[in-house]
A = this chain, B = another copy of it.
Amino acid sequence: MRISELAETTGVPVHTLKYYLREGLLMPGEATSRTRSEYGAEHVERVRLVRALVEHGGVGIAGVHSILAALTAPPPSRHELLGVAHCALPTPGDQGPVSEEVTALVADLGWPVWPEAPALRALSAAVSAARDAGVELSPDSLRRYASAMTEVAAVDLDVALAAESPAAAMHTVVVGTVMVDPVLVALRRLAQESVSARRS
Binding site for B on A (CB under 8 A): 45, 48-49, 51-53, 55-58, 78-79, 82-83, 86, 89, 91-93, 106, 109, 111-114, 117-120, 122-123, 125-127, 129-130, 132-135, 137, 141-142, 144-159, 171-173, 175-177, 179-200
Contacts and interface: CB of A to CB of B under 8 A. Distances in A.
A45 B154 CA distance: 39
A186 B117 CA distance: 10
Contacts of A157: 192, 195-196, 199
A181 to B, nearest CB: 5
A182 B135 contact: no
B191 A146 contact: yes
Secondary structure class of chain A's binding surface, majority of residues: helix
A185 B38 CA distance: 40
Contacts of A113: 190, 193-194, 197
Contacts of A89: 189
A74 B173 CA distance: 42
Give the top 8 A-B pairs by smallest Cβ distance, nearest first: A52-B133, A56-B129, A153-B191, A123-B186, A111-B194, A119-B189, A148-B151, A126-B182
